[in-house]
Structure 1
Amino acid sequence: MRDDLQDLVDEVSRLLGAPATLEDTGFTLLAFCAQGDEVLTGLDAVRTRSILTRGSTAATRQWFRDFGIDRATGPLRTPADPVAGILTRLCLPVRHRGRLHGWLWLLDEGRTDLADPDPPGLAAALALADRAGELLAARPVPVDVGGDLRAALAADRPAADRLGARLGADTPVAVVALRPAGDGLPAGWAAPGAGAVSTVVGRQVAVLLPLPHLADDRPAVALSAAALHRLPTGSTAGVSSPRSGCGALPDQWREAVDAARVAGAVPALAPVASWAELGAWRQVVRLDGPDPAFAALLGDPVLTRTAEVWLDQAGSPQRAAAELVVHRQTLYYRLGRIAEVTGLDLADGGDRLALHLAVRAARLAARGGPRPGPGGLI
């Protein structure tokens, strides 16, 4: 069914030439498809769409229901709300034998062709909405398998086999780690995502999500972005590399936890980071911490910041001085002090690598929170 729903949404998106989402009556995101450049900027679009997920407030849901989406039996247009970050939408109700099971949404951003009463491809899209209704009507009642997931993340093979049997032995899956800021999960919080399995591990939430394709982790990124809307500000999420089946869940959980930790330390990767996009941070996050031999340097925030920027800029004095907003002579003076304090030869590649690892590990320790213990516990 997961593949059928994803294929269906892909086809609706193709027919109407717009990003499409499928949601059930609980405003849970079931599948989505981006269009063109939207693939590259999907996170921003997902954030906008995620106000329609189960994490939305009662007021937000009522805002849409006031336009008649619960009663609609044909296409319905809902207006934009710039203040709430809501785009203009074409809503196709998803029904089966008269019963509402959800909605297909086309995010048109005011496109004039979709604003026509009968845009090209609409009839075929409505037929697909009916097919979605049939599929959703046939969904089995979900079973709580959180206990098996928690055990499987801790390398319990029988639990992993049960999950594999439930999802399909070769089903592509990703693991998401949600890392709440502050006091943790709000009361009554629940992870969104139809077909997903979630459980609490220490102060984090693990989510196992089946994927339509092994090379496409966008549904996991979308779920992460939606989940963060109901978590405290500053929360982060990490997404593992996809795998076939449930045989590598401990490794995937570690990847997801590490990615969420890096997202907390590196603004460019926040708030949702995928293991595949971490680059050199994948080595840094696996360190126990900064090398104690660099304690004297790391105790000086100005020199530490100078070293980090200079190394991030590949040793370019011009770019480093510009980012630090200092004169180049000031930069040279600081680099001399760094060499003096550490005893390093900054012209040596090995010494530069050791320094870069130390300053990045220090940033991760300071901003990414404590390093998880066994099983991803913090």
Structure 2
Amino acid sequence: MASGLQRVVDGLAVQLGRAVMLEDRLQHVLAYSRQKEPLDDIRRDSILRRETTPEVREWLRAAGIFDAQGPIRTPGAAALGLLPRVCVPARHGGRLLGFLWFIDAGPPMSEEEIGVVAEVASAVGVALFHESLAIGLAAHRELDAVTSVLLGTPGAAEEGARSLIEAGSFPQSEPVTVAVARPLLDGQVDEPLREAMERALLTVRHRLGPRRTLHLVRYDHAVLIFSGAARPEQIHAAMEFPVVVGTGEPRPRLDQASGSYVEAARAAEVAARMPALGPSAEWSRLGVYRLLTQLPPATLKLHEGLERLLADETHRPLLETLEVYLDLAGSAHATSERLRLHRTSLYYRLRRVEELAGTDLRDGGERLTLHLSLKLARLLGRYPRAHGRGTAT
């Protein structure tokens, strides 16, 4: 089918004496003719990357290409390095399936030329429709198999993994790592947002090549299964909106990926609640938060004295001093150096903590309870980190 579309594109280019590019509805490049001037940076980048950048997609969406029922001219954008274009949507039964693109300069296209393309576009739409049926069937089977691997029983996971490997969708002998992306946006995750996550994951899969990744979009997050090590930076680069990405630990086989998925989902939840950790979080580096995220929420209660300190914003310096002191195993010397605080001031703050919280820092059980309560308060968003970013402790 791809070779047939290439012949159509080459034939149009010869007939019109103009360069042609064909994209699918997600603006991934499917075919293009020999390119000649005028040629802008966007066309070059699209051919090299096999896709249009998010900034240009947004510009062209605003120009109305997704709503157009027939050929339209889109304006240039000097800031983006974009020349004017003629866009001819390829539809079948009213369904948008792709776009035929022409640079509308040197000289602009005539109405007769555009009419020729419009006639060909209907045939392109039919060809893309038939291709989408085959791809859709394969995608549906892949979706079922990936869902079984991540969410099914051990037997279903094994069967799903076997079908994916036998279909050539994933390698058999490499370990797997799962990454979960959660949107950092106010409000509920709606269908357009899920579609945007789907586009981003397909872009990552396209960039990394065949047999390297699998994906699944769930109700409020997106999942990517990597062959080998996870590549969270690829997910961030492809998303059209801010996300946090959590990664689980590798598993030796695809049918064991569900364990990595659970870890990745929890890591992403921690990253979403604790911005100080940064946009990505690895399960293996979350320290005590690995324990806290696995406990039933109803069982998690803070130290009563700590609750009193949290209730008053003026006690923030005391809380952060206490946290650093406990992070450094109760070393007054190390805490003074970390906070650049005179030892006398440190002891004064620690005594105030004991007085206000009704605790005794010489008691190992109290220190442990306070330390866990501080980390839980961070996880629950009760107070943000102020003394720096870094690995969770």
How does the TM-score come out when normalised to structure 1? 0.52
The 1:339–1:173 alpha-carbon spacing in structure 2 relative to 1, beyond 3 Å, is same
Contact conserved, 1:285 with 1:361, CA < 8 A, in 2?
no
Q: 1: distance between equivalents of 2:354 and 2:333?
A: 19
The residue identity in structure 1 corresponding to 2:368 is: L
Runs of 5+ unmatched residues, structure 1: 1-24, 28-51, 63-82, 85-139, 212-216, 370-378
Q: Where do residues 36-51 of structure 1 align in structure 2 (5 Å cutoff)?
A: none
Amino acid at match of 2:151: A
- Which deviates more, 174-183 or 188-197? 188-197
Name 1:354's counterpart in structure 2: 369
* 1-structure distance, mates of 2:263, 2:222: 14
Q: Which residue of 2 aligns with 1:48?
A: none
- Is this contact kept in 1: 2:310–2:382, CA < 8 A? no
Residue from 118, 124, 139 that aligns with 1:143: 139
Give the drift of 1:271: 1.1
Count matched residues: 238
User: 1:305 is matched with which residue: 291, 308, 320?
Assistant: 320
1:54-104 per-residue CA deviation (whole Å, 9 max, x = no partner) reads 683254999xxxxxxxxxxxxxxxxxxxx99xxxxxxxxxxxxxxxxxxxx
Q: CA, structure 1 residues 368+179, in 2 after alignment: closer, same or farther (shift >3 Å)?
A: farther
Listed as ranges, the gaps of 5+ residues in structure 2 are 1-26, 30-48, 60-78, 81-133, 166-170, 385-393
Q: 1:330 to 1:57 in 2, by over 3 A?
A: same
Deviation of 1:208 (Å): 1.7
Shift of 1:180: 0.8
Distance 1:248 1:337, change over 3 A: farther
| Residues 334 and 210 (structure 1), Cα distance of their counterparts in 2 relative to 1, 3 Å cut | same
Q: Which of the two has higher C-alpha Rg?
A: 2
Q: Which residue does 2:168 correspond to in 1?
A: none
Q: Secondary structure of 2:303's match?
A: helix
Q: How far apart are 1:363 and its partner, in Å?
A: 0.5
Q: What secondary structure sits across from 1:146 in the alignment? A: helix
2:214 aligns with 197
Contact 1:263 1:368 in 2 (8 A): no
Spell out the pairing of 1:254-265 with structure 2 (5 A cutoff): 254-265=262-273
Correspondence for 1:57 among 54, 62, 83? 54
Of residues 329, 336, 359, the one that matches 1:344 is: 359
How big is the shift at 1:267? 5.0
1:291 equivalenced with 2:306 (yes/no): no
Cα distance change on mapping 1:55 and 1:249 into 2, 3 Å:
farther
Q: Conserved in 1, the CA contact under 8 Å of 2:180 and 2:245?
A: yes
Provide closer, same or farther for how the CA distance between residues 358 and 276 of structure 1 changes in structure 2, counting only shifts above 3 A: same
For residue 365 of structure 1, what is the aligned residue in structure 2? 380
CA–CA distance in structure 2, aligned partners of residues 200 and 60 of structure 1: 21
Instruction: Check whether the contact 1:264–1:367 (CA below 8 A) recurs between aligned residues.
Output: no
TM-score normalised over the length of structure 2: 0.50
Q: How does 1:131-210 map to 2 (within 5 A)?
A: 143-144=139-140, 145-165=142-162, 166-167=164-165, 168-182=171-185, 183=187, 184=189, 185=193, 188-189=196-197, 190=199, 191=201, 192-194=204-206, 195=211, 196-210=213-227
Letter in 1 for 2:244: T
* Aligned partner letter, 1:178: A
More helix by share: 2
Residues 131-185 of structure 1 show CA distances to partners (whole Å, capped at 9, x for unaligned) of xxxxxxxxx9663423433344333345422431113554411111111111443
Q: How much identity, in percent, do the aligned residues show?
A: 29
Name the structure, 1 or 2, with higher relative contact order (CA <8 Å, separation 6+). Answer: 1
Q: For each residue in 1:216-237, what CA deviation from the matched residue of structure 2 results, as whole angstroms up to 9, or x when unmatched?
A: x2x433433434x4232xx211
1:223 pairs with 234, 238, 253, which one?
A: 234
The Cα RMSD (Å) is 3.9
Contact kept? 1:163, 1:246, Cα under 8 Å = no
| C-alpha contact 1:346 1:352 (8 A) present in aligned 2 | yes
The Cα of 1:188 is off from its aligned counterpart by: 3.2
